[in-house]
Amino acid sequence: MVLPKANLYALRVNLSVAIVAMISNRTIIVNGTLETLSGPEFNWSQQMRGQILASFFYGYIVTQLPGGFLSHRYGGKYVFGIGIFLTALFTLITPLMASWSPYLLIGCRVIEGLFEGVTYPAIHAIWAKWAPPVERTKLATFGFSGSYIGTVLALVISGSLAESTAEWQSIFYVFGSLAVIWFLLWVILVTESPVGHPGITNAELDYIQNSLGYSEDQTKQVHPPWLSIFKSAPVWAIAVAHFVENWGFYTWLTELPTFMTHVLKFHIKEGSFLSALPYLVMGIVVFMGGYFADVLRSNFGVPTVVVRKIFTCGAFALQAIFMIAAGYLMSRVAAIACLTVAVGIGGFAWAGFSVNHLDIAPQFASILMGLSNTFATLPGIISPSLTGVIVSNEDSSGDWQIVFYLAACIYGIGALVYGILASGETQSWATLPGGYHSYNEDPEAD
């Protein structure tokens, strides 16, 4: 699941670096001197750039719940795979759309968001069938770490491609092509559930499904209790936490290359590399957080709800502190260090709220992820546009400080809400009747 998530985020992130090259002078360093080869290819206003960066999320938010429902009904493998494949196709035509009109570029990104929107719920549908409860945090967060690996690779590679002779267009051609190749491998190699895996033994299958407490056939017969889902406080705790974490994540995912270039005065290639650093740390922290969370639950008997709250609320509190510090200390070293910690420590939160769907309603996890990610997509829409309004002068550290302090306030609110409302137990509306019938007790089993 690491490679699929890496693909997912590479297709999403590439524009954050490409747009800096698209609106900047094309320069080259000759004998230590910066020389301008040509002016910017596009003269878009800050507000237009904010709209372009936010446009992906206009589509992304629409297909979260449909993606969860389709994955619950038909399975996550093809919903996930087709979502990435179609996103890749529109990524390949992004340079053409940009050359014609910024509004066509916005339309192209909206469509990419529509297709990629089904992917996160689909992943939870797959984990609901594959991940035993005692291992699900480390397995799910190991997969989530691919998102940040993809972010790092996309930022670093995009910066190099933007300054190469192939220019910014190559960013979209490279990542779009890689995603198409990945899709072909996904279709051939991946199975929807353990039942369909050609190499799994009955003992392995029995272990997984007995641990889960239900089989794939059982979940197909159960209809989502929509009213109970929407009335559930633990569901809304997850949705709020998901929104909060994504506020900081999406703010810097879209704006960090611009901040590095204009305020900290890094060159595009340097800025893209340093912009990737917080996500490299986050990828490592996500995986470590998942491992430690499962150790606390399985080896030390710490209740699931306590683990989820420690990791989520603790991460939010630390993120708020370092976000305030980053806004107060605007030197190169201090800003990079504080932002790296503030973004990176969010990886621990993913070992809390992001797996919580599987705790409270495993067979409906794809639908709950679709619901929470619907709200978590709002920052992707609001934040770039709001930043475009707040930061009227891209070179003004004072304007950027407001962005930092706003993020810190949102983290504080998220810690409070999740700490009060979250749960770690399977909800009454999510229990399945009958229990699991062991394959080892089936006289007709091979």
Report how far residue 59's alpha carbon sits from residue 180's, in angstroms, rounded to the nearest whole number.
21
pLDDT computed for residue 66 by the predictor: 92
pLDDT computed for residue 418 by the predictor: 98
Q: Taking Cα atoms as reference points, which of 110, 113, 123 lies closest to residue 5?
A: 123
Report how far residue 60's alpha carbon sits from residue 146's, in angstroms, rounded to the nearest whole number.
19
What DSSP letter does each residue of 259-311 carry, written as one string? HHHHTS---HHHHHHHHHHHHHHHHHHHHHHHHHHHHHHHTS---HHHHHHHH
Asked if 93 contacts 39 with a C-beta cutoff of 8 angstroms, the reply is: no
pLDDT computed for residue 434 by the predictor: 55
Report how far residue 72's alpha carbon sits from residue 224's, in angstroms, rounded to the nearest whole number.
9
pLDDT computed for residue 433 by the predictor: 61
Per run of 10 residues, the mean pLDDT along the chain (length 446 residues) is: 70 84 69 61 84 88 91 88 94 94 95 93 84 78 78 82 84 93 90 80 81 65 86 97 91 77 74 76 88 91 95 96 86 86 90 92 90 90 84 84 93 97 93 55 40
pLDDT computed for residue 17 by the predictor: 80
Report how far residue 50's alpha carbon sits from residue 394's, in angstroms, rounded to the nearest whole number.
12
Q: Taking Cα atoms as reference points, which of 323, 369, 339 lies closest to residue 79?
A: 369
pLDDT computed for residue 33 by the predictor: 58
Burial label, 415 (beta-carbon count in 10 A; 0-12, 13-18, 19+):
buried
Report how far residue 48's alpha carbon sits from residue 233's, in angstroms, rounded to the nearest whole number.
38
Report how far residue 343's alpha carbon sits from residue 230's, in angstroms, rounded to the nearest whole number.
30
pLDDT computed for residue 443 by the predictor: 36
pLDDT computed for residue 94 by the predictor: 95
Q: What is the pTM of this model?
A: 0.80
- Bridge partners (DSSP) listed for residue 33: 30
The pair phi, psi for residue 35, each rounded to 5°, is: -115, 140
Q: How many CA atoms lie within 13 A of 367 on its CB side?
A: 22
pLDDT computed for residue 424 by the predictor: 93
pLDDT computed for residue 72 by the predictor: 83
Q: Identify the three-state secondary structure at position 242.
A: helix
Report how far residue 235's alpha carbon sits from residue 93's, in angstroms, rounded to the nearest whole number.
38
